[in-house]
Amino acid sequence: MHISIIGAGPIGCYCGYLLAKAGYSVDIYEEHAEIGLPIQCTGLLTRDFDQLNLLKESFLVNTFQEVEVNSPDGQKIVIPQTEYLVDRHKFDQYFAELARKAGAKIYLRHSFVRKEGKELLVKELKKNQELRFSPEIVIAADGPLSKTAHAYGFYHPQRQNYYGIQAIVEGKFNPQRYQTFFGREVCPDLFGWIVPESKTRARVGVASRKDAKKWFDTFVQKQGFKIKETQAGVIPLYHPKQKLKIGNCYLLGDASGFVKATTLGGIIPGMKQAEILADCIANGKDYERATKSLRRKMNLHLRLRNVFDKFEDKDWDKLIKILGKPKMQRLLEQHTRENPLPLVVKALLNEPRLLYFGKFLV
């Protein structure tokens, strides 16, 4: 069976690796000249990444032991959490090489153009010529603005995107801890972050559905950082009605919107989604049905995002004050943000004051 994957990001390449290892003929097409560039992601991973057994020193930049949460009124809580910071260029390259070694072929500077019947048209940018082929399976892994997904008629009309802007800055940082900043003066529909690579260098940014540049400029100026490099990218907001399969085409990763709406992290959900898809193709399983458990997690993240979007600064102050209590700190230490359900349930049982925020569900 011939499988074509459009997009050579880490999730597309990981799926290509799994399928090639299972004996399928896999071609991966990437429009950029180099895998992993341009960088459009902070590269922060929770310790759930350990479950994949894929963490390598070659792409690991830093390991954090703490997360600092800052409220609008100046409160600060520190949550013990082991998390990883990766070099996205090296990270993406690692998964591409993994796919190649398993037998997948990767074609750089090959851009998806359109679909004509059962044929795909891909433009070889170096030679400026179009290639036509008819794969038995197509996997759209070409990001939040996926041309492949558009061609197959996937996108729900209410789908939304965030716009993230991040800078590499110089300064003095605690390399054991990254920081988050909440409030309408920082970023009304997400938060700001400072993620150290070392004692003297960090990744600083914000993401928003509108006016991202304004919020970014304000945040960086307030911190007084010296910018060395700026990065930007589009991040999808998960939509519960997004289809994952039409005809012989499957959606994967950012192209499917499988991103945590609370933090906009998509690597770990995408990797797990790739494992599910590879298993479905190999064993004839229903992809939509097989992703139900993962969808439930994505839906809960979306519900929490809808609650947070209604917060005023006083609500962030109240929530962060509650989360700073010792019993809540212990709960936060035990659970990562990948699966919020057990954390939410235990938090409500241990701290009834959290029911105050139930009014935002209406």
**Are 272 and 227 found together in one domain?**
yes
| 106 and 196 part of one domain | yes
322 and 294 within one domain: no
| pLDDT-derived band at 158, boundaries 50, 70, 90 | confident
Predicted confidence (pLDDT) per residue in 196-206, tens digit: 999 999 999 99
In the 8-state DSSP scheme, what is residue 50?
A: G
Residues 214 and 67 in one domain: yes
Domain range holding 287? 2-301
Please write the tens of the pLDDT for every residue from 277-323: 999 999 999 999 999 999 999 999 999 999 999 999 999 999 999 99
**Residues 233 and 345 reside in one and the same domain:** no
pTM reported for the whole predicted model: 0.95
- Residue 27 in 3-state DSSP? strand
Residue 69 has pLDDT above 80, yes or no: yes
Average pLDDT, the chain: 95
Strand (E) positions, 71-191? 76-86, 105-108, 110-116, 119-124, 129-133, 137-140, 160-170, 177-181
Domain total in the chain? 2
Q: Residue 265 to residues 120, 222, 235, 257, 274: CA-CA distances in angstroms?
A: 30, 25, 9, 11, 15
